[in-house]
Amino acid sequence: MPRPAVLLGLVICGLSAPAWGYDFSIDLRTIGQGYQVRGFAPDGSNELLSRRRLTEYLDLSVSDIGSGAWHGDDGGRNLITFEASLRFDSDFGGYLLGAPSGAAAIPELQQSEFDILYAVLVGRNIAGRLDFQLGRQLHFDLIDLYAFDGADALFHLTPRFAVEAFSGTEVRGAMPLSSPIYELDGTSAGSRDPATRPDQNAELRPLAGVALVAGETGAPFSARLSYRRMWSDTADRQPGEPESGVNQELVALTATAAWRSRVYLSGGVRYNLLFAEFDDEQLALRVRLTPRQWLTLEHDYLAPTFDGDSIWNIFSTGAYRDLRASYEIGLPRGVKAYARAFARFFLSTDDEIATTGPYAGQDVGAAAPGGRTAGGGSLGAAWRRGRGLLRADGYWDDGYGGRKIGVDGTARFQVRPPIELEGRLTGYAWRSDLQPAVTGSGVVFGMQAGGRFQVGKGQHLHLLVEDNVGTYYESQFRGLAMFEVDASI
Amino acid sequence: MKRWTSSVAFGVALAAGVAGGVLAGLASASASPSPATTQAAPVAPVVPAGPSPLIYPGETIPIKFDHAMHARAGATCEGCHSSAQTSTAAVDNLIPGEAACRSCHKIDRTQPAKSVPKGEAPARCDACHADGNTGTLEGSPNPPATGPAGQSPTGSHAINNGWMPTAGLGAEPPRVVLARPSLKFNHQLHATRGIACALCHANAAVQGMITRVDLPMMASCLGCHSGKQSTGRCGACHLTEPDGRLKVKLATAATGAAGGSGLLEPSGSLRGIDAHGPTFRRDHAQAGRDESYCLSCHRRSECTDCHGGVVKPPDIHPADYVTLHVADARRNVPDCSSCHRLQTFCVGCHQRTGVSSDPSGGLPGTRANNPFGTGTQIKQFHPPGWARDTTGAVIATPRPASHSVQAKRNIRTCVSCHREESCLECHSSDPTRGANFSPHGPNFGATARCRFLASRNRRACLKCHALGAAELDCQ
């Protein structure tokens, strides 16, 4: 071999870096659904609209990016992953294909078929200090659920205290490859009245926020205090109109505390700076009565608010409080049982005592259909043993909103490793409180049967059929088929 | 009742509590742990009965051994479990072999029934070896009870049948079988940091037989691994996937037989509200407070599968939910907006199915082709007196059946069918539109609500009020 080639080879070998291996995980799900819904034809007659839905999910995860030496002794440092979820969703039935078109089109039905639900580069425990997310990301906590395209960085000042900053633009249905599912509610691009500014929906909405985070996962106390502001420029701005407007501005505080592995407190409160009021409060106390028994007490307060561009905020001046209690017990032989109850109290607004008209001096809110209260409860048990599961639930709700009472039974059994069968029986009665003769009341009995079959390594076929008989249907058949491929490399 | 009055008190109380916690967190975080603090005894927890068979799977221990008696005789942990000092993985077998026993027990394999002088350690096979017919703990959630603290379990413990080589010399006694624990644990790391064996294995010095039920459970670990003295990261102890999430599919034959799901799920000993009980799928809002905690086990797609609002989860929406949802939606239980956007999902479907009959934005019931009946049999979705009285005149004063009460109380129901244009029809201050009914309550202009909204987003005001109107400045 000529000497220069040998030298070149040695140089290349000397310069070469260790090879990096990535772990890939691909989860592909194809879901087909076929069913019918009853609708009203333009002439007022009944019609059945067919739904032939096809939904395709492609979830991709690339992990272990970088050298293995980065991850430290316990493998928990400098973890970098890329995660994405893409969705195709469409309907080939008359529901969508037969929908009005042209001037009568329903814009809310013309949503993007291809959505990127999230696509984010995630870094965890970088240099023992930093967690970051870069890309389209979805965030949630006790009183929040939002998605944005941008960056989020959480810097751990100490093991128990961190600061977070994030910035980007809200994911909106008006953007390409974007779902409207997590955008602020209250406005519609389908509005035909120019005064409602339907074009405003297409404007980009930058957002930015900061948070202080205390407590690590195992800590007896943890809290997060956050601030977020989202705004947008005024579309088609006319002289005298503001250049921009705030769509959301919040300060939120959530916290958990634990005492001796027995008593747990969690909750949150949110102050809405658009309206100068607390619009969401939640508090839960959970007590382990014995090693197998839990008691949970919850209090919620909610005053619905919407996108700052929406006039619904002006009308929505009411709020409600919920009190909930639940009890869970683990019984021998794999049986778990529970009981839940709730009560809801709609709070009176300032002007529910009529000052004029035929009801002057009277509390019209208390006399309104449905009254000011609602309540209900449920009871159930699940038995899981080896390859099988049996579950039964019963529920009853009444008061504002109407009445519903029902039972539900589920069974699942693995016949042998590749085959799992399932069935479900449902029966319920309901009655609207508004005007039952028009808005409805009825009885429904439903049956589901299906199975999950492993057709290959990481490949599952899930088939389910459902038939319902009730006041409004002699037979309502529904079919679902899902094929799932989960591959890891 | 003004809806913010009690909220302020609630918020202040929670804020004070959390602020105190934040300060406490800061204070504790600023102090680096000293060797003395790392020895702090874990808080005595209330824990579920027995460890999870997913973490500590079944075992077979055909041995008779009294830890307490050996401790009283002067044996040390390191003296027998010498390999613990250098072990770096939980799967390492740290059970001492015969060689370790020989330092005290003068074993002679050619003399299975060897006698020793009184006061010396016994050397018979059946002094230590059990016959294997009892004492098999294959992942049972109810393993044999151990003896009371400080007493030898001999005579009361299930493992009490001695083994002798009845098949002849050379026969092997039943062997100890320990399944691999689904954990990471580095004994060496803990030992070099001066953490005494008894801190985690407190029972060893006072109890006879030690089995899997005596192994330290998570609550004990959290005494130090709370993020203060040591990391509280789940993956520091639990097995992880390459992407850092915990490995949760740990099914074994034993766990299946014991009624387990084969999935590692929170028992509630960490946060209480995170216990995956029978109602968890419906009631996990409180547990979802900390997304990083959820994402330590779950993929994001598990959130979007349900909260994406495409495929109906049968346990949330029972059969023919399209019919039933009328009652649920009006009450908003469960919360529709956690999976559906009202002004797209609900409006689109209601309009397509003809429930929302008024695409032009006019008052309900004015359309000739009202879907709830035809001709003279028109039935209105809304009850009589909703917006007009029996003469057809628009109702201008509050009445029990009027829509104003319902809209103030629960406008999300309205939003599921109507767009803003429906309200502008009557509530706009534009004189060309007609009614000009103000939706604002008494003295709205003097409220902080008016000032804050006007200062942050005047566009909403301009949907009803003209540029330059005094109302825009809350006058």
Q: Around B438, how many Cα atoms within 13 Å sit in the side-chain half-sphere?
A: 9
Average pLDDT over chain B reads: 77
The pLDDT value recorded for residue B260 is 53
Residues of chain A with pLDDT under 70: 1-2, 12-21, 43-44, 110-112, 218
The pLDDT value recorded for residue B261 is 60
d(CA B413, CA B406): 9
pLDDT tens track for A407-430: 999 999 988 878 999 999 999 999
- The candidate with the shortest Cα–Cα distance to B328, out of A401, A433, A137, A216, is A401
H/E stretch holding A399 reads strand A388-399
Model ipTM over 0.85: yes
The pLDDT value recorded for residue B229 is 78
pLDDT above 60 (res B359): no
- State whether A381 and B278 contact (CB < 8 Å): yes
Residues 427 through 466 of chain B touching chain A, CB cutoff 8 Å? 427-428, 430, 439-442, 448-449, 451-453, 456-460, 462-464
b or e along A26-41 (b: 16 or more beta carbons within 10 Å of the residue's beta carbon)? ebbbbbebbbbbebbe
The pLDDT value recorded for residue A35 is 93
How much is the average pLDDT of B395-416?
88
pTM strictly above 0.80: yes
The pLDDT value recorded for residue B252 is 58
CA distance to partner chain A, nearest, from residue B171 (Å): 37
Cα separation values, A375 from A340, A342, B238, Å: 11, 5, 42
pLDDT above 50 (res B450): yes
A229 touches chain B (CB under 8 A): no
pLDDT above 70 covers what percent of chain B? 76
Three-state SS at A57: strand
pLDDT tens track for A9-60: 777 666 665 555 678 889 999 999 999 988 877 766 778 899 999 999 999 9
Phi, psi (degrees; rounded to nearest 5) at B451? -65, -45
- Please state which CATH number belongs to domain A317-480: 2.40.160.10
pLDDT above 50 (res B140): no
A359 touches chain B (CB under 8 A): yes
The pLDDT value recorded for residue A138 is 94
d(CA A180, CA A113): 11
Q: Which segment of B41-50, B241-250, B303-312 scores lowest on mean pLDDT?
A: B41-50
How much is the average pLDDT of B318-340?
88
- State whether B456 and A273 contact (CB < 8 Å): yes
The pLDDT value recorded for residue B8 is 46
The pLDDT value recorded for residue A195 is 92
The pLDDT value recorded for residue B426 is 87
Cβ proximity of A250 and A228 under 8 Å: yes
Within 8 A by CB and 6+ apart from B91, the residues are B180, B181
The domain ranges of chain B are 50-231, 341-439, 440-475
pLDDT above 60 (res B281): yes
pLDDT tens track for B83-108: 999 999 998 989 898 889 998 999 98
Closest in B184, B260, B348 to A106, CB measured:
B348
Within 8 A by CB and 6+ apart from B401, the residues are A368, A369, B383, B384, B385, B386
Q: Which residues on B lie below 8 Å from A315 (Cβ)?
A: 407-408, 411, 414, 423, 439
d(CA B430, CA B418): 20
The domain ranges of chain A are 317-480
Pairing of β A277-290 and β A263-272: antiparallel
- The candidate with the shortest Cα–Cα distance to A36, out of A48, A45, A44, is A48
Q: Which residues on B lie below 8 Å from A31 (Cβ)?
A: 310-311
